[in-house]
A and B are shown apart, each in its own frame.
Chain A
Amino acid sequence: MADITISHLVKTYPGGTERATDDVSLDIADGDFTVLLGPSGCGKTTLLRMLAGLELPDSGSIAVGGKDVTYLPPNKRNMSMVFQSYAVFPHRKVRYNIGFGLSMAKKPKEEIDRKVAWAADLLQLGPYLDRLPAQLSGGQRQRVAVARAIVMDADVLLMDEPLSNLDALLRLNFRSELKKIVKDLKTTTVYVTHDQSEALSLGDRVAVMRKGQIAQLGDPLDVYDAPADRFVGGFIGSPPMNFIKAAVSGDGGALIVGDQRLRAPSLLQSYSSTDVLLGVRAENVAVDTQRSSGDVPGTVLVVEPMGSSILLTVEVEGQTIKVQAPPTFRTSPGATIWLTFSPNSMRFYDSETAMALVAR
């Protein structure tokens, strides 16, 4: 168990011109579960592999528990890792696979046996200890990979998209199981995923990455609720956050969307007569078939019943947005409905830089 300090880490792959990680700095507290989230090619896996020692950075440093490990070989780092492809050893029985790290560390046999039994019990692998990985299902193989990682008493537990090769239902079940196991272990964990729901549900903290840099770091709910820029808002959430072109009126008191005027929050006072992007989540738009004050009219384009809600695609002042309506809401394509944006859930972004606006 240890804290991790990553500072100014730069890595360019040989033959590439773009930086895979571009001056990334990140502090991870002891025992924290940090998720690196981002689209493919954003550098999250590169960052994890540099933590593991499987890639070496061009510059910058990594310290674990106050000790520099930047250029240390993987076997000297006391880390353990769960790989996306499981990476279990196919020529050896499950028992050997789970105990592999311990036997490499030359631990006494009784201790290995005890820990293997403990991990097998925890991950329901007891009946399969004497099988070869080829005789297991994909889900069971992934459990072997997790068991192999957690028996290690490592300083840091690294996970590289461990759930992405499982089918949807299995993934959902194993996700909550994994969260409980890691919580009980209290090991500092770094988890890489491109799945935003995984990131939100597992992490103590989420670092959203884009083009080799960390776009936003924070509590999962903060990242969801108040994205730092348009990219984060568009990447997190299903459906992604709506972005509507709008302008602040000359006196700063109203927000103009097309022909409609909305009451502007006080934040916008200092941005009078500028173009802004209004960001709002689909579930934060109230819908009604009747007009009431402050409402914006919209034309329904698509109606998608999702079971627990109805997802509407609505055209508002020439812009298309997604709106989540309660399952009892009845409408059909072509109908006009009335939308209410709740002032507290509106976020504002600079129309050019796409960064969140702050009061000034």
Chain B
Amino acid sequence: MTTTQTKPLAPQPEVDTAPLKRLRRDRALLQAACIVISLFMLVPIYLISLAALSTRESLNDFPLSLLPTNLSFETLGAFLGSTGILGAFGNSLIVGIGTLLISALIGIPAGYALARFAFPAKEPYQLFLLFTRALPIVVLSVPLARLFLTVDLYDTTYAVILLHTALALPTTILISASVFLSVPIDVEEAARVFGCTPAGAFLKVVMPMALPGLAAASIFTFVMSWNEVLGASILTLDHRTLPAQVLTSLADSPLAYRFAGGFALVIPSIIFIAFMRRYLTNMWGSTIR
């Protein structure tokens, strides 16, 4: 009963490895591209950190050492110690978090409405939202400065919070609308059938599922507020945010101060993104559905 194949194998054509080699080459190129792009982002951050953490003298050395040989907090300390910087740092935090909270408070319900309800002129409304961003910040800020002067809000962090909220709202609304769209409506209806009020269903079911996406939107808002400089400089004098403060004193300050300023501007955003990253990766992962 041994009827195994006894027929001689037909001659196989030569194995063509060219496609396999192409595949390997493409993969290597992709890796190389990833590395180049990462370096493009990381090298400036590294250089700025290095300069900010070096002694004032070593900055003038030639050739410049690319390794952290002369670590010192002297420059950074001097920068943080100079007038107005710590205050500006605090202002920036207040403005960033304030902007985040207010734009979330207004933008998330608006995004929910866009995602779930049909109402007249929905499409034009979405387009109209983006018009705020179409206006240059200067055009917005100067009338705002006048307005804030008359209502006594000028030169306060509230003024900057309001401006930044206005700037951030379009993106907050549109991002959160798309996030809510990705939460299946059935799940919300199930919550309603099983005894939730509309608010209960939103808080117990929709919000937890939307959280990763909303966190991403909030990162965006915070970083935008942290980096915005023009409007903040126009609307404040003594209560500047960090970028505004640094900008005004940049021209007439020593090199070391500039590096330290740059470092202080970059770090909080990076920390904030690192903190929120978990939610971001979740969003592309399996949390929703």
Which residues of A approach B to under 8 Å, CB–CB? Answer: 14, 52-54, 73-75, 77, 79-81, 83-85, 87-91, 100-101, 104-105, 134, 148, 152, 158
Contacts and interface: CB of A to CB of B under 8 A. Distances in A.
B201 to A, nearest CB: 8
Contact of A74 (B184, B193, B286, B289): B193
13 contacts: A14-B118, A74-B193, A75-B194, A75-B196, A75-B197, A83-B186, A87-B190, A89-B187, A90-B287, A90-B288, A100-B191, A100-B194, A158-B193
A74 B118 contact: no
Given A14-B118, A54-B192, A80-B194, A134 B286 contact: yes
Nearest to B288: A90
A152 B194 contact: yes
Interface of B: 118, 184, 186-187, 189-197, 200, 205, 208-209, 286-289
A158 to B, nearest CB: 8
A14 B122 CA distance: 15
Given A75-B197, A104-B200, A134-B286, A87 B186 contact: yes
Contacts of B288: 90
B281 to A, nearest CB: 15
Contact of A79 (B193, B197, B289): B193
A328 to B, nearest CB: 34
A121 to B, nearest CB: 21
B193 A105 contact: no
Given A90-B289, A91-B209, A85 B195 contact: no
Given A90-B209, A134-B286, A85 B193 contact: no
Q: In the complex, which of the residues A73, A87, A105 has the most CB atoms of chain B within 10 Å of its own CB atom?
A: A87
A25 to B, nearest CB: 24
Contact of B189 (A77, A83, A104, A134): A83
Contacts of B195: 75, 101, 104-105
A104 B196 contact: yes
Given A87-B189, A104-B195, 15 more contacts: A52-B193, A53-B192, A53-B193, A54-B189, A73-B192, A75-B200, A79-B193, A81-B190, A81-B193, A87-B190, A88-B187, A100-B191, A104-B194, A104-B196, A134-B286
Nearest to B285: A134
